[in-house]
Amino acid sequence: MTKDYTMFDAEALDKLQDLTQAATIGHPGTHVPTMLVPRGYDLVSLEKYMENPGRFRGNFATSSIEDYADYVNHESSSRVFVDIEKMKAKAFFDLGTHLDPGHGDHTATLALEKTAAYAAMLDADGKAFAQKDLAHWVEDWHANIEGEDSNGTSLSPMQLAAAVRRIEIKASSERTHEEGDWNSSRSGLDQLDARSGDATPAIIRFSCTPYEALSQRTFTLRVSILTDDTKPRLKLRVTGLSADQELIAQEFKHVLGQHLADGATLLLGTFAKS
């Protein structure tokens, strides 16, 4: 029986051709050192074996406007995209132009964090508190709070907490009964009234700095007393919150622009490489 070497010879010839072509092509012309290897012509980077990388890459992330500006201003030029809805900014230092595009992989990200007081106020918005819980909340944030009752009288935090604790539910009932020669009818109305002496807590003014490096603001929270149970619950609602948040976002852009040097171009919006 004669052994067939045809397949073996074809494979050996293919391997020989791969080696010859790889040696002939050599460097494929990229800025990052690469070479062709005879394994399906995979492009393999040798950058990790170099003493220095081919270009600077990385992302700096912080929640501090001052530290962010310090990093950005050390670069000769940058484009900074500001997302005012998320209170974030992202700078690109190597985007280039449409004629001479860059990789866009050297960036700096700023994400402002809510202060503890601002986060506590937002968490209270729309929440129904038991009397004791709201009194404790007022006492916890007394440095940020001023109150006002339903008569328009100003209340200190301690007076406000005491007024919250004094609220009582009183039930009143009204009944009518009518009888005629051929019929009889009865109607009833039960009401629950909330009382706290002469007046009830009506408004809480909450002053705080929403984010680091921004100015202090005073928010108005209206107090509603829910009387659908034997024990009252108090619901807080921040009035005009959307308008306040728009002003906060515009201040963020303005303050950030003041901290950045002339080499930074500030743009509203977001940018993502495709």
pLDDT in tens, 5-33: 445 566 666 666 666 665 555 555 566 66
Q: What is the domain count for the chain?
A: 2
- 121 and 226 in a common domain: yes
- 96 and 45 in a common domain: yes
Side-chain-side CA neighbours of 250 within 13 Å: the count stands at 6
- 214 and 156 in a common domain: yes
- 134 and 57 in a common domain: no
Calculate mean pLDDT across residues 92-105: 85
Would the pLDDT of 183 be above 90?
A: no
Which pLDDT does position 56 carry in this prediction? 79
- 56 and 152 in a common domain: no
- Report pLDDT digits (tens) over 211-268: 999 999 999 999 998 877 678 899 999 999 999 999 999 999 999 999 999 999 999 9
- 244 and 164 in a common domain: no
- 215 and 150 in a common domain: yes
H/E segment holding residue 121: helix 116-124
Which pLDDT does position 17 carry in this prediction? 67
Q: Which domain holds residue 202?
A: 116-173+191-239
- 165 and 234 in a common domain: yes
- 141 and 73 in a common domain: no
Which pLDDT does position 133 carry in this prediction? 96
Q: How many CB atoms lie within 10 A of CB 36?
A: 18
- 83 and 163 in a common domain: no
Is residue 122, in this structure, part of any structural domain at all?
Answer: yes
Q: Round the average pLDDT of the chain to a whole number and report it.
A: 82
- 157 and 136 in a common domain: yes
Exposure b/e, 230-260, CB count within 10 A at least 16 = b = eebbbbbebeebeebbeebbebbbeebeebb
Side by side, the strands of the sheet bearing 233-238 are 128-130, 233-238, 217-226, 201-208, 145-149, 154-155
Calculate mean pLDDT across residues 103-130: 95
Placement of tokens 């001052």 in the chain: 66
